[in-house]
Amino acid sequence: MAQEIVRAGVLGQAALALADGFARVLLEKGLISQADYVRGFDLAAGEWEAALDHPQQTEVLAALKKIHPSQG
């Protein structure tokens, strides 16, 4: 069981990194604004804050806080 949780956590972190990387590319290409990027990031973080029963919530929120984009 513990191995399944670790794998899920690793996959979740990889998905977050991929999504953030994609958003950064859109930002660099001028397809979204910095404000839109931050707003989307904050929406995702809010969903993780609400995921009280998820076993990786604490780790994901800590990771999100480390990479949180600035407003400008």
Rounded Cα gap, residues 65 and 29, in angstroms: 24
Mean pLDDT (whole number) for 4-21: 71
Does the pTM surpass 0.75? The reply is no
Question: How confident is the model over 16-62, as pLDDT tens digits?
Answer: 788 888 999 999 999 999 999 999 888 888 988 898 888 888 888 88
Q: Which two three-digit tokens encode residue 51?
A: 């995921």
Q: What is the pLDDT of residue 33?
A: 94
